[in-house]
Amino acid sequence: MFNLPVDSPVPETAILGLLQGWRFLSGRSGWGFYLLAWFIGSPWLNTVTSKVSAPYLDEVFHIPQAQAYCEGKFGVWDDKITTPPGLYLLAAVYHKVFRNSVCSVYSLRRMNLLGVVLIHLVASSCRQRIEGRGRARTPFSAASPYSYHTGVNIALFPVLYFFSALFYTDVYSALFVLLAYENHLVRLSSGTNIINDVWTVLLGASTLLMRQTNVFWVVVYMGGLEAVHAIRHLKPAAVKTPELTTLWSVVKFYAGRYSVGDIHDPPLTVSYPDDWLFCGVSIVIAAVCNPVRVIKQIWPYIGVAAIFAGAVAWNGGVVLGDKSNHVATIHLAQMLYLWPLFAFFSAPLLIPSFIDLVYNIYLSLTTKKTQPTPTPAPSSSPAKSTPLKTIDFLIRNLFYPVFLLSSAALALAIVRYNTIVHPFTLADNRHYMFYVFRYTILRSLAVRYSLVGGYVLSAYLVWSRLAGCRPPPTTPEPEGQERERIYINRPFAASTSTTPAGRSDYKTAAEPRTALSPSPTTPPSTSTALLWLLTTALSLVSAPLVEPRYFILPWVFWRLLVPAWPTPNVAVPLLRWLNQPLVQKFDLLVALETVWFVGINLATMWVFLSYPYQWKGVDGKVMDEARWQRFMW
Model confidence band, residue 13 (pLDDT cutoffs 50, 70, 90): low
Mean of pLDDT values over 20-35: 52
Q: Which residue has the higher pLDDT, 372 or 537?
A: 537
Give whole-number Cα distances, 276 to 267, 444, 623, in Å: 11, 36, 54
∠ CA 304-305-309, rounded to 5° = 120
* Residues contacting 33, CB < 8 A, separation 6+: 117, 120, 121, 151, 152, 155
Average pLDDT, the chain: 83
Positive or negative: CA dihedral 313, 319, 324, 329: negative
Which amino acid appears at position 132 of this protein?
Answer: G
List pLDDT tens digits, range 183-214: 999 999 888 899 999 999 999 999 999 999 99
- Long-range residue pairs from 624-629, CB within 8 A, at least 24 positions apart, any chain: 628/52, 629/429, 629/430
Model confidence band, residue 573 (pLDDT cutoffs 50, 70, 90): low
Would the pLDDT of 556 be above 90?
yes
Cα separation, 596 vs 618, in Å, equals: 39
The Cα diameter of the chain in Å comes to: 89
Would the pLDDT of 584 be above 90?
no
The Cβ of residue 342 has, within 10 Å, a number of other Cβ atoms equal to: 24
SS3 content of the chain, % helix, strand, coil (to 5): 65, 0, 35
Q: Which of 121-130, 141-150, 177-186, 406-415 has the lowest mean pLDDT?
A: 141-150
Would the pLDDT of 278 be above 90?
yes
Would the pLDDT of 178 be above 50?
yes
Q: How many CA atoms lie within 13 A of 73 on its CB side?
A: 9
pLDDT score for 383: 78
Would the pLDDT of 473 be above 80?
no
Model confidence band, residue 496 (pLDDT cutoffs 50, 70, 90): very low
Mean of pLDDT values over 294-305: 96
Would the pLDDT of 617 be above 80?
no
pLDDT score for 137: 52
DSSP code per residue over 193-206:
-HHHHHHHHHHHHH
Q: Which residue has the higher pLDDT, 380 or 549?
A: 549
What ranges do the domains of the chain cover?
Answer: 31-135+143-205, 212-363+386-471+487-495+524-566
pLDDT score for 10: 53
Would the pLDDT of 497 be above 60?
no
Model confidence band, residue 26 (pLDDT cutoffs 50, 70, 90): very low
What is the dihedral angle through the alpha carbons of 577, 582, 585, 586, rounded to the nearest 10 degrees? -70
The Cβ of residue 344 has, within 10 Å, a number of other Cβ atoms equal to: 13
Would the pLDDT of 81 be above 70?
yes
pLDDT score for 1: 57
Helix, coil or strand: residue 214: helix
Q: Which residue has the higher pLDDT, 21 or 254?
A: 254
pLDDT score for 29: 53
Using a pLDDT cut of 70, give the percent of the chain over it.
Answer: 79
Q: Which of 35-39, 427-431, 480-484 has the lowest mean pLDDT?
A: 480-484
Mean of pLDDT values over 9-30: 53
Cα separation, 611 vs 3, in Å, equals: 17
Q: Which residue has the higher pLDDT, 500 or 194?
A: 194
pLDDT score for 518: 52
Cβ atoms of 608 and 431 within 8 Å: the answer is: no
Cβ atoms of 90 and 172 within 8 Å: the answer is: yes
